[in-house]
């Protein structure tokens, strides 16, 4: 790893290169063993260089954002984790268009929109992820989704070329997009909003924040909504109706506040969470003949 680290150190000047970095320090679940190497690019050029090094040397790599929907193996991740963060967090305003780097946080971009009297992004103001991850999974909340506001996305493809896709070309659907389909890496998103009234925008953001604080277990580590919404149903309601509220395995628990969340209440391991997911899936399947599909991404060495 030291030799590989030295290769990255030659091109990562503004960012960081870390050996055996514990992933639990980089995920909202606070779970996960070490990554062999973590690279945190300081700008877009460093990201491109890091990806090229991995591809040219046939090194396995994983791109992550803010780590808000990741469950990482207790054994960690073999290879390189490239974390897209503040180094790609630039935000620019051009009339009613916001250009936001993949590392910019949704909450930050939403506040910038409000300050510039632009409405339409209020739904995303409480989502804890970054722009890149949100675009990749078409993140949404309270009736809004990224597909509603994205006008164009700048990406890096598997050939190492910079490519652009407009909204219609992104193939957005529930929690999926072209980025995952074609193993693209999001670099920047253009967000098209409407002109609005600052007080009304702020009022809506505060209302959604209060709803989220009231209903979601934001005071304990989790990966957000654990399961995707089955068509015509709500995962949390199915779990609650199955009598699983508060069910615990090891340090993981079905949230007593919102059954759609599995939370880390006592130094849970990845295996604790995976076991609890399987229990919930089986009980819901037995009760309702419905299969709950995880919304969180489970990665790392088995």
Q: Which of 108, 61, 62, 113 is nearest to 88 (CA)?
A: 108
Q: With contact defined as beta carbons under 8 Å apart, do 261 and 225 qualify? A: yes
What integer pLDDT is reported at residue 109 of this predicted model? 98
Catalytic site residue from 125, 177, 225, 255: 225
Q: Which of 259, 269, 260, 279 is nearest to 300 (CA)?
A: 269
**Sequence spans of domains, the chain:** 2-87, 89-215, 235-299
What integer pLDDT is reported at residue 1 of this predicted model? 80
Q: Which two tokens stand for residue 146?
A: 């990224």
Q: What is the mean pLDDT of residues 166-180?
A: 97
Question: How far is the C-alpha of 188 from the C-alpha of 102, rounded, in Å?
Answer: 5
Q: What is the mean pLDDT of residues 231-238?
A: 96
What integer pLDDT is reported at residue 2 of this predicted model? 83
**Whether residue 175 lies in the annotated active site:** yes
Chain centre to alpha carbon of residue 43: 19
Question: How far is the C-alpha of 208 from the C-alpha of 212, rounded, in Å?
Answer: 6
Q: Which two tokens stand for residue 32?
A: 């996960």
- 3-state SS assignment for residue 57: coil
Q: How confident is the model at residue 42 (pLDDT cuts 50, 70, 90)?
A: very high
pLDDT for residue 103 is more than 90 = yes
pLDDT for residue 230 is more than 90 = yes
User: Into which CATH architecture does domain 235-299 fall?
Assistant: Alpha-Beta Complex (3.90)
pLDDT for residue 51 is more than 90 = yes
Chain centre to alpha carbon of residue 187: 14
Long-range contacts of 178-183 (CB under 8 A, 24+ apart): 179/135, 179/136, 179/153, 179/155, 180/136, 180/137, 182/157, 182/158, 183/158
Q: Classify burial at 245, counting beta carbons within 10 Å of its beta carbon; exposed 0-12, middle 13-18, buried 19 or more.
A: middle
Of the chain, the end-to-end C-alpha distance in Å amounts to 21
Helix (H) or strand (E) run with residue 289 in it: none
Catalytic site residue from 175, 177, 188, 242: 175
What integer pLDDT is reported at residue 232 of this predicted model? 94
Global model pTM greater than 0.85: yes
Q: Which two tokens stand for residue 282?
A: 């089986």
Q: What is the mean pLDDT of residues 257-277?
A: 98
pLDDT for residue 88 is more than 90 = yes
Q: Which two tokens stand for residue 251?
A: 């340090």
Question: How far is the C-alpha of 257 from the C-alpha of 236, rounded, in Å?
Answer: 10
In DSSP notation, 206-272 reads: HHHHHHHHHHS-TTS-B-S--BPPPTTS-HHHHHHHTT-TT-EETTEEE-SS-TT-EEESSS--HHH
Same fold, 89-215 and 235-299: no
Question: How far is the C-alpha of 127 from the C-alpha of 114, rounded, in Å?
Answer: 16
Catalytic site residue from 44, 119, 188, 295: 295
Residue with tokens 């919930």: 280
Pick the CATH number of 2-87 from 3.30.43.10, 1.10.10.10, 3.10.450.30, 2.60.40.10: 3.30.43.10
**Whether residue 225 lies in the annotated active site:** yes
Q: How confident is the model at residue 86 (pLDDT cuts 50, 70, 90)?
A: very high
Could you please state the CATH topology (level 3) that the domain comprising 89-215 is classified under. 3.30.465
pLDDT for residue 61 is more than 90 = yes
Helix (H) or strand (E) run with residue 40 in it: strand 34-40
Question: How far is the C-alpha of 55 from the C-alpha of 161, rounded, in Å?
Answer: 13
Q: Which of 169, 217, 189 is nearest to 29 (CA)?
A: 217
Q: Which of 104, 135, 106, 105 is nearest to 123 (CA)?
A: 106
What integer pLDDT is reported at residue 114 of this predicted model? 98
Counting residues of the chain whose pLDDT is more than 70, the rounded percentage is 100
């Amino acid at each position: 790893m030291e030799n590989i680290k030295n290769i990255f150190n030659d091109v990562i000047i503004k960012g960081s290169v870390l050996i055996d970095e514990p992933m639990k320090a980089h995920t909202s679940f606070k779970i996960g063993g070490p990554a062999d190497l973590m690279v945190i690019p300081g700008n877009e050029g460093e990201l491109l260089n890091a990806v090229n090094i991995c591809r040219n040397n046939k090194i396995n790599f994983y791109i992550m954002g803010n780590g808000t929907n990741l469950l990482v193996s207790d054994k960690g991740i073999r290879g390189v984790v490239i974390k897209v963060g503040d180094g790609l967090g630039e935000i620019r305003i051009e009339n009613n268009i916001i250009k936001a780097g993949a590392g910019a946080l949704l909450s930050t971009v939403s506040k910038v929109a409000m300050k510039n009297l632009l409405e339409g992004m209020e739904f995303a103001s409480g989502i804890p992820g970054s722009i890149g991850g949100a675009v990749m999974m078409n993140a949404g909340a309270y009736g809004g989704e990224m597909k509603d506001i994205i006008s164009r996305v700048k990406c890096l493809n598997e050939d190492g070329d910079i490519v652009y896709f407009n909204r219609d070309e992104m193939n957005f659907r529930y929690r999926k997009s072209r980025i995952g389909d074609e193993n693209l890496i999001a670099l920047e998103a253009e967000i098209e909003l409407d002109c609005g009234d600052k007080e009304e925008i702020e009022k809506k953001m505060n209302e959604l924040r209060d709803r989220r604080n009231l209903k979601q277990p934001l005071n304990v580590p989790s990966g957000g909504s654990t399961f995707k919404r089955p068509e015509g149903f709500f995962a949390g309601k199915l779990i609650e109706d199955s009598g699983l509220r508060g069910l615990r395995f090891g340090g993981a628990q079905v949230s007593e506040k919102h059954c759609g969340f599995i939370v880390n209440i006592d130094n849970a391991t990845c295996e604790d969470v995976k076991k609890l997911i399987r229990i919930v899936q089986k009980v819901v399947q037995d009760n309702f003949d419905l299969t709950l599909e995880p919304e969180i991404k489970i990665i790392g060495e088995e």
